[in-house]
Chain A
Amino acid sequence: MTDARTAILGRLRAGGGEGPLPPLDTAVMERRQWPPAERVARLRRGMEAVHTEFLDATPADWPAVVRAFCDREALPNLMFGPASEAGAALAAAWPAGGTQLLPYDRPVEAFKEELFTTVAAGFTGTVGGVAETGGLLLMPGPAEPRLLSLVPPIHLALLRASTLQDSLWHAVKALGWGRSLPPNALLISGPSKTADIEQTLAYGVHGPKRLIVVLVHDLA
């Protein structure tokens, strides 16, 4: 449709966008900052307000914390990305028996139905968190496929306290997202929810019904 393209751009150019660009005063974004320890508390408050659950862990014991959760919930299985750093660490520490670890290691077409119907939970890492409002930053990709954090009814996400950013605005800068991005990146602040029926909040509408953050306390 080069015709439509030419016509549209021609009209826009003729319409004229002259004039100086108004300045951007970003002070209101800039000043949203907190000391590291407070960031953790803020993120937690923000996310708990929208029904996110938290599990506290240390850099050493987090795989055991994940396992204990699975045992407690009697989860039949947990899907993970074996090529990711967090996934590999989880698999290495996973005791035999009980909840079965399922690797997401082939194209989804091979097991789409199974993913939708039999996988009980998905485990992913994160690349950071957002203190201001609460929220996890994820960069799905070959090692951690996109649907791990979306299709299973429970999403377990590993978050290191040291990776928290003040706000999404700060995170975009810190992570260099403004310059280049993988095919998919996202922010998640809680389990999927809707208020489309009489403004009444209901959780677990299309995506995960529960979001469990495994919070690794690794601040010095």
Chain B
Amino acid sequence: MHAEREILFRESAAAALLDPQLRANFRRAMDGLISKRQAQFPDPRDLQELRDLSTAIRSRSLLRLPELLEQLEASCTKNGIQVHWAETCEQANELILGLLQARGAKTLVKGKSMVSEEMHLNAFLEANGVEAIESDLGEYIIQLDGETPSHIIMPAIHKNKDQIARQFSQKIKDAKYTEDVDELTAMARKVLRQKFLEADAGLSGVNFAVAETGTLCLVENEGNGRMSTHVPPLHIAVMGLEKVVADLESVAPLYAILTRSATGQAVSTYFNLITGPRGADEKDGPREVHLVILDNGRSRIYADPELRATLRCIRCGACMNHCPVYTRVGGHAYEAVYPGPIGKILTPQMEGVGVRHDLVHGSSLCGACGEVCPVEIPIPEILVRLRREATHSDPGSQVAGKGTGRLASEDWTWRLWAAVLKRPALYRLATWFATRLGGALPAGVPLLREWTRTRTQPVPARRSLSERMRAEGGSHD
């Protein structure tokens, strides 16, 4: 899914900033999530130990990735789960369509899966005559409006209840207008339970795949994940290839830090372990379980020792909850499946760092994301690295679209910058001019024009510190 033209985050973000309702919705929601997470980690030492452990577990999984994937495949196969591999989203979509068509399946109920969003699976299936129904309440809400998720954990977080009330009353048959959250939830329950009952197949994502036992772990609160995976006769799970973990003992700490980081819950309502289809004497459960393992650029990310840390991500969403940029512009402004800080590093690596050049500059590098990330992904450092990749074609780099964001004007700016700053005499001359004339710069010069949109023009002091120290003379070495 490579973008053709450069997508400007600045433009969509600026548009989002003008929507006060949107900003209020996000700010309120993010403040709530931040304080709930905080409450789950009262002891900073415990938190740091748990982060270190989680980071080590994910790093170990990645170090042994090919071997663990093979082990996962063998264990799943032994358990009766059929494993498929897809290099691209197109391949994965075709694979799933093939499985559905071979069984005459016309309707698919879906538990929440960001990988299926990455694949744009729904649109693909609709175009091929299969109805795909999102059953996570948030996903259902946005599907009714033909929207995409604005957050990886809470897909409808950009909407408030008035908006949802209006939408339900228009789009759900026989629904009355209500802003009562319990009543709205009950409406969705009624519609979706019928869908679970009738669906020919169910689809889910995977939070962790356990290599040793061949187990797919699903974390959820609503029960729609269990419905999608246990009620229809066919269950298809999709996962990015980085999701594998060596053993179930290693999953426990990851699960503990995932729910706490994501929504500030010590535990989710359900933690569902699927290790096979309906057993010989079982009376329910799917007859078939299939696992689709998707690459879509991940193996390329994997090849870079620094960028590989991107694949440690357990998709908790904490980085977006704590991001001062995401909080203000919301998820849609990123024009990407994965928004927020993780999206800023993942999207350019998947779609090309040149066409998403603006995205890697859409950060003040404040570091809030890296500070809360449960698996200690150095997001700011990776952003800087990707800024480099966008404008340079370093030999040995495998980053998609490397060097394609290079602009001659930017090149010259930095060369000039370095030429002046590495020569004290030139710097002295430049500061002399700045201190004498700085306040008189015309407000229209390019960078100043941007600065002064919301700020007054900065005025240099009359005499620089160096000048004063030179005048003082005494303390020079």
Given A104-B283, A177-B248, A9–B269 Cβ distance below 8 Å?
no
Contact status A23-B56, CB under 8 Å:
yes
Set B196, B226, B267: member contacting A135, Cβ < 8 A: B267
Instruction: Say yes or no: A17 contacts B135, CB within 8 Å.
Output: no
Please pick, from B57, B86, B221, the residue contacting A193 in the complex, using a CB distance under 8 A.
Answer: B221
Contact of A185 with B by CB under 8 A: yes
Contact of B185 among A50, A132, A194 (CB under 8 A): A194
CB-CB nearest in chain B for A23? B56
Q: Are B284 and A26 in contact (CB-based, < 8 A)? A: no
Contact in complex: A24, B60 (CB < 8 Å) = yes
**Contact call A183/B267, Cβ cutoff below 8 A:** no
Q: Would A181 and B213 count as touching, CB distance under 8 A?
A: yes
A197 contacts the other chain (CB 8 A) = yes
A151 to B283, CA, bound (A): 14
Q: Given the known A-B contacts A181-B213, A183-B282, A196-B137, are A206 and B249 also in contact in the complex, defined by CB atoms under 8 Å?
A: no
Q: Which of B138, B181, B300 lies in contact with A11, CB distance below 8 A?
A: B300
Instruction: Identify which of residues 176-217 in chain A touch chain B, using a CB-to-CB cut-off of 8 Å.
Output: 177-200, 202, 204-208
State the main secondary structure of chain A at its contact with B.
loop
B277 close to A (CB within 8 Å): yes
Residues in B63-91 with C-beta less than 8 Å from chain A: 63-66, 69-70, 79, 84-87, 91
Name B156's closest neighbour in chain A (CB-CB). A196
**Known contacts being A1-B84, A196-B138, A206-B135, is A13 close to B270, with CB within 8 Å?**
no
Interface membership of A98, Cβ < 8 A: no
A197 vs B182: C-alpha distance when bound (angstroms): 10
Q: Which residues of B contact A26 (CB under 8 A)?
A: 53, 253
Interface residues of A in 14-40 (CB under 8 A from B): 14-19, 21-29
Residues on B with C-beta less than 8 A from A4 are: 85-87, 91, 295
A25 touches B181 (CB 8 A): no
Contact string against A for B residues 198-241, beta-carbon threshold 8 Å, 1 for contact and 0 otherwise:
00000000000000110100000111101100110000000001
Binds A, one of B100-108, B186-194, B423-431: B186-194
Number of interface residues of B (CB under 8 A): 102
B233 CB to closest chain A CB, in angstroms? Answer: 8
Partner of B231, one of A7, A106, A147, A204: A147
Contacts of A147 in B (CB 8 A): 230-231, 284
Q: Does A5 contact B (CB under 8 A)?
A: yes
**With A145-B284, A168-B255 as given contacts, are A183 and B60 in contact (CB-CB < 8 Å)?**
no
- B242-274 vs A, CB cutoff 8 Å, 1 = contact: the mask equals 000001111111011000000100111111111
> What is the distance, in angstroms, from A132's C-beta to the closest C-beta of chain B?
7
- In the assembled complex, how far is the CB of residue A146 from the closest CB belonging to chain B, in whole angstroms? 5
Query: Which of the residues A12, A46, A200 comes within 8 Å of B299, measured between beta carbons?
Result: A12
Q: Which residues of A contact B156 (CB under 8 A)?
A: 196-197
Contact in complex: B231, A178 (CB < 8 Å): no
Chain A positions within 8 Å of B157 at CB level: 199
CA distance A205 to B65 in the complex (A): 37
Contact A179-B213, Cβ < 8 Å, known A11-B303, A195-B154? yes
User: B189's contact among A28, A197, A199, A205, by CB below 8 Å, is which?
Assistant: A205
CB contact between A198 and one of B161, B221, B270 (< 8 Å): that residue: B161
Q: Using Cβ atoms and an 8 Å threshold, which residues of chain B touch A200? A: 161, 181
* Option from A25, A133, A168 in Cβ contact (under 8 Å) with B52: A25
Is B281's CB within 8 Å of the partner chain A? yes
- Kindly state the separation between the CA atoms of A57 and B33 in the bound complex, as whole angstroms: 38
Shortest Cβ gap from B349 to chain A (Å): 13
A15 touches B302 (CB 8 A): yes
Does A17 contact B64, Cβ atoms closer than 8 Å? yes
Closest to B29 in A: A199
Distance, CA A132 to CA B135, complexed state (A): 30
Q: Residue B197 at the A interface, CB < 8 A? A: yes
A76 CB within 8 Å of chain B: no
> Is B141 an interface position by the 8 A CB rule?
yes
One of A67-75, A85-93, A107-115, A156-164 at the interface: A107-115
Specify which chain A residues have a CB less than 8 angstroms from the CB of B65 in the assembled complex.
Answer: 12, 17
- Is B285 close to A, CB under 8 A? yes
Q: List 19 A-B contacts (CB under 8 A).
A: A1-B91, A4-B91, A8-B85, A8-B293, A8-B299, A11-B300, A15-B303, A24-B53, A26-B253, A106-B283, A112-B231, A150-B223, A150-B230, A168-B255, A172-B248, A181-B248, A182-B279, A192-B270, A207-B270
The 7 lowest CB-CB distance pairs between A and B, nearest first, are A207-B223, A15-B303, A142-B281, A196-B138, A192-B223, A133-B267, A183-B276
